[in-house]
Amino acid sequence: MRVQDLLYSALNSLRRTKARSAMTTLGIVIGIMSVILVLSIGESAQSYIVNQVAVFGSDLLFMENGANPLESSGTPSPFVKESITKNDYSKLREQPWITQMTGDIQQNDTVIANGQEFSAQVVGGSQEEPLIYSSKVAQGVFFDESQVNSRARVIVLGSDVAKKLFGEDTAIGKLVKVSSRNFRVVGVMASGGSRFMQSVDNQVYIPFTTAMDLYHKKYLLYVVYKVNIPVTDAKRRTEEFMRERHDILDAKDDDFYVSTQEDVVRQTGQITQILQILLGSIAGISLFVGGIGIMNIMYVSVTERVREIGLRKAMGAKQSEILGQFLIESLVLTTLGGIIGTLLGISLTWLAIQVILQFQDGWTFSVSYSGILMGILVSSIIGIVFGYAPAKQAAKLDPIVALRKE
């Protein structure tokens, strides 16, 4: 019997049991859809984070508290040892190879003014904050170095914060209250979208020295700076500088870590890859369950069609032809499920990105082609592996015994 005849016979058999065939493919559809959805959103997230960092240029470095979580040995701790002080910041800023620098404190708080309240992220930074991130001031000015040094209670509002508190009225010169302290508005930022997965339009800026007093902080959250030498040299110099200040003799005892843009991209890739593997494995369980469902249904199909199999064998059908027919039936079910699951996965990925864009700008629709290829191949393999045992059982039936079956 030719392959076309086997395929035609298998399709006719599946057409007679449409409802059962549809339910059989459901597990494969859900599994393939989940795999593609997880991998595609993971790729979109990785692209988004990389773009968030890359936009600021390759001369940007980050210094954060604690040991590098991707390089430290032992059991990871949820608590980060704070170590970067204002003096560390001031001394590091004096280095001739640093062109711009800001030390940041971040705290969620309520900003009150004009009878309105707004839940915002308070960012304590330096006067060079807008230079580092290429931000624009729409009204007024950003605070200056003298105001940072004097711990002045001045504030710059994000565009959404200013609109919520003052509407169309000017905010410059007005007073706003943060943590029961009055701050004078000196500027309003232009709309800036998102940065590091946070909306900058929902932020307010005060001098980091003022923020340390306001929130009783002894340490900076992180330091961001630009350099006029190769970033690898700057990273090495920063590490040597900090180890000398903190009396650290061995790099494994570092209580800080420095990242370049390349490091951030690599770390992001590692984290998203781990998440994709984890979530993809969970989604793969449904594929396995779907495969078992196909095997069970094929066993039922063999049992129901014993007389048909006996008649075909009595008329001269070979074992290989019976085996081929049932394998093709299984393969058609899983391949069809794979195609439907792939289309659903792509559609749901697009829908998920549209929903995310309602809350955060900068995401782009991306489809994981490796996920599509893997999904179709896996569904075909499942059809062969889980369909083989029932097909083999059908092929080995004795025609006389099969024809006597009631």
Query: What are the tens digits of pLDDT across the range 275-291?
Result: 767 766 766 676 677 67
**What does the alpha-carbon distance between residue 384 and residue 341 come to, in Å, rounded to a whole number?**
18
What is the structure's pLDDT at 186?
96
pLDDT confidence of residue 48: 77
User: In the predicted model, what is the mean pLDDT of residues 169-198?
Assistant: 88
Predicted TM-score (pTM) of the model is: 0.67
Domain edges within the chain: 3-52+266-404, 82-254
How confident is the model at residue 57, as a pLDDT? 65
Task: Report which of 295, 302, 304, 288 is spatially closest to residue 330, judged by C-alpha positions.
Answer: 295
Average pLDDT in the chain: 81
Q: State the Cα–Cα distance between residues 326 and 6, nearest whole angstrom.
A: 9
Give the contacts of 173 (CB within 8 A, at least 6 positions apart).
184, 185
pLDDT of residue 16: 66
Backbone φ and ψ for 98, nearest 5 degrees, come out as -100, 125
Instruction: Give the residue with greater pLDDT, 54 vs 339.
Output: 339
The better pLDDT of the pair 249, 7 is held by 249
Residue 33 banded pLDDT, cuts 50, 70, 90 = confident
What single letter denotes the amino acid at residue 279? L
Instruction: Give the model's confidence band at 56: pLDDT under 50 very low, under 70 low, under 90 confident, else very high.
Output: low
DSSP labels, 277-339: HHHHHHHHHHHHHHHHHHHHHHHHHHHHTHHHHHHHHHTT--HHHHHHHHHHHHHHHHHHHHH
Percent of the chain whose predicted confidence (pLDDT) is above 90: 36
Give whichever of 16-30, 88-102, 286-300 has the largest mean pLDDT: 88-102
Which residue, among 204, 227, 216, 239, has the nearest Cα to 125 in the 3D structure?
204
- Lowest-confidence pick of 5-9, 12-16, 261-265, 385-389: 5-9
37 — pLDDT class (breaks 50, 70, 90):
confident
pLDDT at 76: 45
Q: Mean pLDDT, to the nearest integer, of 194-216?
A: 88
Condensed to tens digits (0 to 9), the pLDDT of residues 67-106 reads: 776 565 544 455 677 899 999 999 999 999 999 999 999 9
| Residue whose pair of structure tokens reads 């992220």 in the numeric block | 121
Provide the percentage of residues in the chain whose pLDDT is more than 70: 74
The tens digit of pLDDT for each residue in 310-367 reads 666 666 667 676 777 767 777 777 788 888 888 898 899 999 888 888 877 778 888 8
pLDDT of residue 10: 58
